[in-house]
Structure 1
Amino acid sequence: MVLPLKKKKYYDFETKLKVILARQQGISIKIIQKKFKIVSVKQIYRWVKWFHNKEFHRLQQKRGHNYKHKTSINLNPHNNEIKEIKNKIKTIFQLKKQNFKNACLNIIYRYQNKFSFNKIIKWLGISKNSYYRWLEQKEQPPFLTNLDIQIQKICLQNKYYNNAGESFFVWGYRRVYQELLNQNLKVNPKTVYLKMKEMYLLCQTRKNRYLKRHNKNNYIPLSQLNLLKNNFQATQPYQKLCADFTYLLYEKNQILYLSVIMDLYNREIVSYYLSTKRNTNLVLISLNQLPNLKKPALFHSDQGAEYTAKIIQTTLQEKNLIPSFSEKGSPSQNACIEAFFANFKCETVYLEKSKKLTKKRLTQIVNAFIKKYNSQRRIKYLNYLSPYQFKYQKENQQNALK
């Protein structure tokens, strides 16, 4: 016996809309089904789903096969406002962190009555947790402790200002930590780092680049000996000296050369000279600034023509200095002076606008940095003392023993 087929019941567009609106108002599905005489509950869920997905052409399909609806009725009255919000959001993503937070909070506060909270958050690309966290931070202004104030003071006092009027934080958290210890503030270095990170006070200088150099197979031994042999420790002043020079760019591809001599006893810059020409005079003038030594001492440098010249070798003999040379292509054998140049450039020259940088400004930078380096720079090798402080401390200890 064949059962007769049930006739399909069709619903017009108005009834579908009434069902969707009733469901949005929170009326239960069973009541809606009885009121509008709908056969299947699945149909109600399907209509609501189409409505949320903005597939309005499906709600007004006629009887027969599915077809592509050419004209769709625009049921959303807030289209212009949505465009306005999305344009604002595009500009927000270009802002900095702090400004981005404030802009997001303002948009949510302004449009939360017109659009759902979840929809606005989705457009902004933020989570609920971050929104509520930002809200708490805004309602409760951050309480600055004594430690926070001291960290801010140290970082702001040691800011570097370039020729364009821009300022940069030059001190890292380790140097700030040592300064706090000198002020009798006991604190963990990790907390100093976290505090500086929260307050956007971390060091803004470029990190040093370390290049791996491979040993060459076809190595020719040196005619000149490396007497230092990577032993950068000295027990007395003027026992071991390191020398090197570097170039500094200014204006339009103009070059200024800086020749430096360092005492490895306390990492002090004992002599330096600036010149526009790269010749033996660059090294000779910095050498002549050294005193004549009673005891013989090492003078370590690279194998540049400026250091291997006859005039330089004779002046070294007069000063009672024994020459020592690094291997070719081995800057690590003169690491102390290379580290000094790296720190100097990262903290000063690289922060300047090179095209606007004048020769006068550059000489002022060099003089000020070396003066501050010898008197105030805290070096880890010297137990975070400056070169002068270390020297005076050792002298006082020796006098006390006598």
Structure 2
Amino acid sequence: MKRVAYSVETKYKVVEMKVAGFTTKEIMNALNIRNKTQVDTWWRWYRNGESYRFSQHVGKQYTYGKGPKELSEVEQLKLENKRKDVELEIFKKVQGIGKEVVPTVIIDLVDQLKDKYSIKLILEVLNISKSTFYRWKNKPLKKDTVTQKIIELCEANHYTYGYRKITALVNQCYTSPINHKRVQRIMQKYHLNCRVRPKKTTRLGKPYYKTDNLLQRQFKASCPMEVLTTDITYLPFGHSMLYLSSIMDIYNGEIVAYKIGDKQDQSLVNDTLNQIQIPEGCILHSDQGSVYTSYSYYQLCEEKGIIRSMSRKGTPADNAPIESFHSSLKSETFYLNKKLNSSNHIIIDIVEKYIKNYNNNRIQQKLGYLSPVKYRELAA
């Protein structure tokens, strides 16, 4: 078959279309190029900084220093700039990595940069031979210490933490900070991502003693026991239905009172409220459930000097903090491990242990990766 000689303009047009995101097949059809390998070769030359080869004759594509013509000053300058770009990008990537197994770092760097630069050019800058690189890549590598630590932390927290919280915990163990994007990649690679919470359905309540929404989704407080929020959630995991009534302090997200009962009645809510000493003038936010709009609840709040606030009808987002807590409780225990479903006594024990761990140990991003109790103690 007779070789086809393509013009320099055609070769640069191929590069231009590649950069624009066209596929090889689309480029071949548009420019009437017969061979796919030809397109790949021109693209490789361009990525290697060898675009000077576009003007060489068919069958005479010499590399630098091996052909009859040396590179022009312009082409040499382009090649040097390309190499400096790679060096600069590699320097940015390796900052903060710290001392680790060299093969792991190299493979990770090449994977990040290979879509932008050729593997050959990256390895030249790193002064690593292709044979060594592919030997590292094809040989199973032992997990580095950071990866092992991430796996341990995910297991210890029952895979309920996302990459941000895991990053905060990892950085407590190392002097050199570990980037959150690296933690995210490792968690994705080893399938360590936390469970996605199921969407909540709206629960409508019939208002009786209705009050205004004083919070307006501004869930902030300047000191403990200034703004509280409360709600009831179902616990359908035992031999019979159970209900959890909780009160949360908006200041640090701490559960300051809770009660578990087998009936969603007025005593469940009132008994929860009577567990704690609430300073006069404290705002207590709830939804418009019948237990919160009842005369009994209204009277109890009046006696304690509590200022009541209520969500709009059928709008759980107006009470987001306590809704989120109940969702986390179920997602990180019962939904995560359905084998936990057992007797009511065991269900109660699981909930009580979770709340204790939630208050004392479970870190929160908004609290600077501290637990609610630790945040309150440090603030005091």
Normalised to the residue count of structure 1, the TM-score between the two structures is: 0.56
State the alpha-carbon separation in 2 of the partners of residues 373 and 200 from structure 1: 24
Which segment is superposed worse, 377-386 or 325-334?
377-386
Cα distance, 1:137–1:365 mapped onto 2, change above 3 Å:
farther
CA contact (8 A) 1:241 1:300 kept: yes
Please give the per-residue CA displacement for 1:321-343, whole angstroms capped at 9, x wherever unaligned: 11111111111111111111111
Cα distance, 1:210–1:363 mapped onto 2, change above 3 Å:
closer
State the alpha-carbon separation in 2 of the partners of residues 251 and 231 from structure 1: 36
Which segment is superposed worse, 384-393 or 266-275?
384-393
Aligned length: 243
What displacement does 1:311 show? 2.0
Report the aligned-residue RMSD.
2.7
Cα distance, 1:251–1:344 mapped onto 2, change above 3 Å:
closer
Cα distance, 1:287–1:210 mapped onto 2, change above 3 Å:
closer
For 1:169-318, what aligned pairs fall within 5 Å after superposition?
A: 169-185=159-175, 186-203=177-194, 205-209=195-199, 223-251=210-238, 254-293=240-279, 295-318=280-303
Report what 1:102 is aligned to.
Answer: none
Cα distance, 1:277–1:212 mapped onto 2, change above 3 Å:
closer
Cα distance, 1:307–1:258 mapped onto 2, change above 3 Å:
same
Report what 1:391 is aligned to.
Answer: 376
State the alpha-carbon separation in 1 of the partners of residues 250 and 198 from structure 2: 21
What displacement does 1:224 show? 2.1
What displacement does 1:244 show? 0.3
SS of aligned partner of 1:291: coil
Please give the per-residue CA displacement for 1:174-223, whole angstroms capped at 9, x wherever unaligned: 111010122235111111111122223222x233427799xxxxxx9x95
CA contact (8 A) 1:374 1:387 kept: yes
SS of aligned partner of 1:176: helix
State the alpha-carbon separation in 2 of the partners of residues 308 and 274 from structure 1: 20
Normalised to the residue count of structure 2, the TM-score between the two structures is: 0.59
Amino acid at match of 2:236: L
SS of aligned partner of 1:366: helix
Amino acid at match of 1:232: F
CA contact (8 A) 2:228 2:248 kept: yes
What displacement does 1:309 show? 1.8
SS of aligned partner of 1:303: coil
Amino acid at match of 2:162: G
Amino acid at match of 1:365: I
SS of aligned partner of 1:299: strand
Which runs of 5 or more structure 1 residues have no equivalent in the other structure? 1-134, 160-168, 214-219, 396-402
CA contact (8 A) 1:249 1:354 kept: no
CA contact (8 A) 1:249 1:256 kept: yes
What displacement does 1:136 show? 7.0
CA contact (8 A) 1:242 1:301 kept: yes
State the alpha-carbon separation in 2 of the partners of residues 234 and 196 from structure 1: 34
For 1:25-44, what aligned pairs fall within 5 Å after superposition?
A: none
Report what 2:104 is aligned to.
Answer: none
Amino acid at match of 1:290: I
Amino acid at match of 2:157: N
What displacement does 1:314 show? 2.0
Amino acid at match of 2:170: L
SS of aligned partner of 1:350: coil
Report what 1:329 is aligned to.
Answer: 314
Q: Percent identity?
A: 34
State the alpha-carbon separation in 2 of the partners of residues 268 and 312 from structure 1: 22
For 1:97-176, what aligned pairs fall within 5 Å after superposition?
A: 140-159=139-158, 169-176=159-166
State the alpha-carbon separation in 2 of the partners of residues 212 and 357 from structure 1: 27
2:355 equivalent among 364, 370, 377? 370
What displacement does 1:143 show? 2.4
Which segment is superposed worse, 345-354 or 137-146?
137-146
Runs of 4+ in 1 over 6 A off after TM superposition: 135-139, 210-213
State the alpha-carbon separation in 1 of the partners of residues 184 and 362 from structure 2: 20
Amino acid at match of 1:153: E
Report what 2:338 is aligned to.
Answer: 353
What displacement does 1:138 show? 9.9
SS of aligned partner of 1:351: coil
Amino acid at match of 1:234: A
